[in-house]
Structure 1
Amino acid sequence: MSERLLFLTGHLAFPRLERMVAGFGETARDWRIHDIGVKVAALMTQEIIQRRLPRPVEADRVILPGRCRADLDALAREFGVPFERGPEEIADLPAYLGHGGRAPDLSRHDMRIFAEIVDASKMTVDEVVAKALVLQRGGADVIDLGCLPDTPFDHMEETIAALKANGLKVSVDSANVSELERAARAGVDHLLSLDEETLRILPDNSSVVPILVPRPHGDLDSLQRAARIAHRRGISAILDPILDPIHFGFAASIARYVELRAREPEAEIMMGTGNLTELTDADSGGVTAAMLGICSELNIRHLLTVQVSPHTRRTLQEHDAARRLMYAARADRALPKGYSDALLQLHDRRPYAATPLEIAELARELRDSNFRIDTTQDGVHIYAKRFHHVAGDAMSLFPHLGVEHDGAHAFYLGTELMKAEIAFKLGKRYRQDEPLDFGAAVDINEEDATRFKEMGHTMRKAGEGRAEDASDT
């Protein structure tokens, strides 16, 4: 028997939810929907559920609308089954349920991110530590200290000690062998980059794990020789055939990664993506997804990232999101699709939560005069009791609103309508009183999100009656 799911909803959403659940086919044969007796699903409260949900609940899980604020633990104790908060929009239900009827598990990954601080030698110890902690919060597993040519790094040892004291893994990246020797003596975890000649700076059975590169560039034979030397000397190593920029050997370098994996099926391999993300004028999220897809196929488990150009300022977070996405999809033997929206930064796969007809039906049913704002494929909708207008831009809607003499309400509606216009033009999901979701491109600030909701609640209360007045104009 498949898992028994029970969905709680309201009158307006029931038919649409019923059609969507039916679309799951055989997977949904033991799924049921219960109309809790409110018109709008988001209005159901914990008390309403406790009064109106029949007992016993014959389900393995009960899924509530995402906007329902009921105490899930209290409901689970009372009814004896787990309650969980589903997506806010019915359109997002398939992605939420994921493969096998459960939300995707994005907690797992098998790739380590080395985040380079390229100008560490020009920074103070405190500045390096502060930046490293930010990188760690963004997903970095190893902090890579970049050394610069002709720039002394006199405080390298002190910097390494400070990072280690903060519980961080550390690597040093230098073309200067003497700097690499100092870093090894200071207790780093990794050295970038050694070859079959410079590997001699490490003693036998060293605990330092070097990243080995070919010398000359592109020579996989030399890289394999270095790997064999490291193995004979009891040194664990990571191999990096080097990713080259577009038009400077990019395609050939991808081929080298494929060939190296064929030659060395068990080797640990690194890919440094900075030559692509930093040196290509394209949003880095999609680039990162494609490159980590290659890494996932080739079992490349070590990534070197750089964030120097302003257009790559979120590359670290994108790598973290991509490694989780690829792991989940590979574990399911599936396409990396329908697991996460973190890398859908400009355009959403499902930008509209409702159709124009559904919005029109909802507008006809409304019995209060608070403005609601939504987007569909035909534009931005603003509607309330006996009021409904749609346009492709916010300015075209303003003359219909009747808020010329209500500054606070006009400010609120202007903010929301411009946000809705941006979402409509980009193909992003718009949710009233919530920030637009740009995935890994922007941190989610819970404090700002709460302020959005509070401002929306205050403005709607202050504007009660405004839409009814506007409908008479």
Structure 2
Amino acid sequence: MTSKPINQQTLLFVTGRLAETSLREVVAMLSGRLGFRYEIAVPGIQVAALLHVSLLKNRLGVADAIDRVILPGWVQGDIVELEQHFNKPFERGPKDLHDLPEYFGLGKKQRATLDKYSIEIIGEINHATRQPLGDVVAEAVRMAADGADVIDVGCVPGETCPQVGEIVTALRAENLRVSIDSFDRTEVEAAVDAGAELILSCNQSNIDWVTKLGTEVVVIPNTPADVDSLDRLIETVAATGTPFRIDPIVEPIGMGFTASLERYMVARRAYPDVAMMMGVGNVTELTEVDSSGVNMLLAAMCEELGIQSVLTTQVINWCRTSVAEFDAARRLVHHAVTNQVVPKHIDSSLVMLRDVRMRGQSEETLNALAAALTDANFRIFAEQSGLHLMNSHGHWQGDAPFELFANALRANPNIDAGHAFYLGYEMARAEMARMLGKEYRQDEGLGFGLAGTLSGSAAVRHEQ
């Protein structure tokens, strides 16, 4: 790399004939903004994906005035050979020429630092009292790693578990903060004695004894629609000096969801300085839809209303990464609200099913590439027009991968089992990418946002 500043450099950009016009437009814009001089070389080939170091050594000319040579990211071979041959610095740029602005530090905002948030996540282990202790601890550790600030020991209504104290003690031994979700006095008192710091929940049925434990409680109405009971309970609990937060209770869709959201707004206006909680699992667990978008919207409501904590579960399969999703969501909404910006093009971790952007190859480019191939190695593309499979023996395209493979096999009868497996695997990934609206690049993994970064916490769980 030359030591000259960019505005004193002369850069040589290498491309194929099909991309030359587009490259000139992009490079002209970059030159205007960064001040470098440039030349463009097309070494007698249609498609940049066919460029190879050996070909460039024979066909490329590099003037003395050139400071750097920018190659397409598709170039095969060891570019050190080019540096030694031309005595100039060479570098692979991006595979897509439209990514050049980002490559040169332009065209993309600096990544926001999403290290701040205002919402506490309470991750509930559902029916913890019926599970082996080791499983409960392992699940709690996973939840904490994914972003849970407090682990909630979910008990079973109508049952009294004598091991609750042991469960809380084991979780505290892992340096985890713990809450207890029970109305059973024996369970609650054992959990508090073992170090639980929050009791879910307090209403008229247990207010006479739960407020004597000196532990923070979550105050809920006697029934979700009984707003007056919540007001009376708040007054009574406050008079005892017991620390508390309130939860007006969000109800599932179809069971009064919108009305329950309104109750949170009414409660916040009535109690502007009181801590609040929302049990978001009532929506995520009971709505058959991928949970990431639901978590994002609920996090936005909590952030804007100053609801400082949420209780979430991740039991049913479509919610199995809810803790990590809400962790990403709470950071994103905090950034958006604090900086008064829309939560777009800030962080893509919650875009899991589809991709943020799609950049396909034109029919002209694909046909030219297929016509120029001189080897038997297969290239695979997933485009709106269909799947494309090509090598020097043909170009097969369509919507049905089995049909494409059968046609390719007739023209390439010597494909061995290993190669057939590879092609089947890649064709399956290409079909999946096309179906979901994701970018497919042969031999590269598909992007699944946050879901692609999780392992232990994303393990399949049994539906409850």
TM normalised by structure 2 equals: 0.73
Q: Taking structure 1 as reference, are residues 173 and 17 closer, same or farther at Cα in structure 2, changes over 3 Å only?
A: farther
Q: Are 2:126 and 1:131 aligned? A: no
Measure how far apart 1:230 and its partner are.
5.4
Match of 1:82 in 2: none
Match of 1:212 in 2: 219
Q: Taking structure 1 as reference, are residues 11 and 254 closer, same or farther at Cα in structure 2, changes over 3 Å only?
A: same
Measure how far apart 1:366 and its partner are.
5.9
Measure how far apart 1:154 and its partner are.
1.1
| Cα contact 1:113–1:139 (8 A) shared by 2 | yes
Amino acid at match of 2:119: M
| Cα contact 1:10–1:41 (8 A) shared by 2 | no
Q: How does 1:40-439 map to 2 (within 5 A)?
A: 101-195=109-203, 198=207, 201-202=210-211, 206=214, 208-224=215-231, 226-227=233-234, 235-360=242-367, 363=370, 369-384=376-391, 387-398=394-405, 399-400=407-408, 402-405=411-414, 406-439=416-449
Report the 3-state secondary structure (helix = DSSP H, G, I; strand = E; otherwise coil) of the residue aligned with 1:260.
helix
Amino acid at match of 1:295: C
What per-residue deviation string (whole Å, max 9, x for no partner) do you get for residues 262-297 of structure 1?
223333221111111222222222222222222232
Match of 1:76 in 2: none
Measure how far apart 1:107 and its partner are.
4.0
Measure how far apart 1:162 and its partner are.
1.2
Q: Taking structure 1 as reference, are residues 268 and 165 closer, same or farther at Cα in structure 2, changes over 3 Å only?
A: same
Q: Taking structure 1 as reference, are residues 113 and 43 closer, same or farther at Cα in structure 2, changes over 3 Å only?
A: farther
Q: Taking structure 1 as reference, are residues 53 and 339 closer, same or farther at Cα in structure 2, changes over 3 Å only?
A: farther
Q: Distance in 1 between matches of 2:93 and 2:220?
A: 48
Q: Taking structure 1 as reference, are residues 300 and 364 closer, same or farther at Cα in structure 2, changes over 3 Å only?
A: farther
Amino acid at match of 2:187: E
Q: Distance in 1 between matches of 2:297 and 2:106?
A: 22
Q: Taking structure 1 as reference, are residues 92 and 300 closer, same or farther at Cα in structure 2, changes over 3 Å only?
A: farther
Return 5+ residue gaps in structure 2 as ranges: 1-5, 79-91, 456-464
What per-residue deviation string (whole Å, max 9, x for no partner) do you get for residues 153-181 of structure 1?
21111211111111111111112234223
Measure how far apart 1:24 and its partner are.
10
Measure how far apart 1:119 and its partner are.
1.0
Q: Distance in 2 between matches of 1:56 and 1:166?
A: 57
Q: Taking structure 1 as reference, are residues 173 and 21 closer, same or farther at Cα in structure 2, changes over 3 Å only?
A: farther
Q: Distance in 2 between matches of 1:433 and 1:283?
A: 27
Report the 3-state secondary structure (helix = DSSP H, G, I; strand = E; otherwise coil) of the residue aligned with 1:238.
strand
Return 5+ residue gaps in structure 1 as ranges: 71-84, 446-473
Amino acid at match of 1:157: G
Report the 3-state secondary structure (helix = DSSP H, G, I; strand = E; otherwise coil) of the residue aligned with 1:128.
helix
| Cα contact 1:91–1:353 (8 A) shared by 2 | no
Measure how far apart 1:240 and its partner are.
1.1
Q: Taking structure 1 as reference, are residues 444 and 119 closer, same or farther at Cα in structure 2, changes over 3 Å only?
A: closer
Report the 3-state secondary structure (helix = DSSP H, G, I; strand = E; otherwise coil) of the residue aligned with 1:341.
coil
Q: Taking structure 1 as reference, are residues 18 and 122 closer, same or farther at Cα in structure 2, changes over 3 Å only?
A: farther
Report the 3-state secondary structure (helix = DSSP H, G, I; strand = E; otherwise coil) of the residue aligned with 2:298.
helix
Report the 3-state secondary structure (helix = DSSP H, G, I; strand = E; otherwise coil) of the residue aligned with 1:101.
coil
Deviates more, 1:271-280 or 1:286-295: 286-295
Measure how far apart 1:358 and its partner are.
4.2
Amino acid at match of 1:133: V
Q: Taking structure 1 as reference, are residues 423 and 100 closer, same or farther at Cα in structure 2, changes over 3 Å only?
A: closer
Measure how far apart 1:252 and its partner are.
0.7
Q: Taking structure 1 as reference, are residues 216 and 422 closer, same or farther at Cα in structure 2, changes over 3 Å only?
A: closer
Measure how far apart 1:413 and its partner are.
0.9
Q: Taking structure 1 as reference, are residues 170 and 24 closer, same or farther at Cα in structure 2, changes over 3 Å only?
A: farther
Measure how far apart 1:420 and its partner are.
0.4
Match of 2:33 in 1: 29
Report the 3-state secondary structure (helix = DSSP H, G, I; strand = E; otherwise coil) of the residue aligned with 2:218.
strand
Q: Taking structure 1 as reference, are residues 245 and 444 closer, same or farther at Cα in structure 2, changes over 3 Å only?
A: closer
Aligned match for 1:11, one of 9, 15, 21: 15
Measure how far apart 1:356 and its partner are.
3.5
What per-residue deviation string (whole Å, max 9, x for no partner) do you get for residues 419-452 of structure 1?
101211221221222333333445457xxxxxxx
| Cα contact 2:114–2:332 (8 A) shared by 1 | yes
Amino acid at match of 1:274: G
Match of 1:466 in 2: none
Match of 2:81 in 1: none
Q: Taking structure 1 as reference, are residues 332 and 273 closer, same or farther at Cα in structure 2, changes over 3 Å only?
A: same
**What is the percentage of aligned positions where both structures have the same residue?**
34
Q: Distance in 2 between matches of 1:298 and 1:52?
A: 63
| Cα contact 1:89–1:353 (8 A) shared by 2 | no
What per-residue deviation string (whole Å, max 9, x for no partner) do you get for residues 377-426 of structure 1?
21122345585432222123211254443211111111101110121122
| Cα contact 1:169–1:189 (8 A) shared by 2 | yes
Rg (Cα) greater in structure: 2
Q: Distance in 2 between matches of 1:19 and 1:331?
A: 38
Deviates more, 1:266-275 or 1:231-240: 231-240
Report the 3-state secondary structure (helix = DSSP H, G, I; strand = E; otherwise coil) of the residue aligned with 2:425.
helix
Match of 2:461 in 1: none
Aligned residues: 417
Measure how far apart 1:200 and its partner are.
5.4
| Cα contact 2:140–2:151 (8 A) shared by 1 | yes
Measure how far apart 1:91 and its partner are.
6.2
Report the 3-state secondary structure (helix = DSSP H, G, I; strand = E; otherwise coil) of the residue aligned with 2:151.
strand
Measure how far apart 1:144 and its partner are.
0.5
Deviates more, 1:419-428 or 1:344-353: 344-353
Q: Taking structure 1 as reference, are residues 409 and 120 closer, same or farther at Cα in structure 2, changes over 3 Å only?
A: same
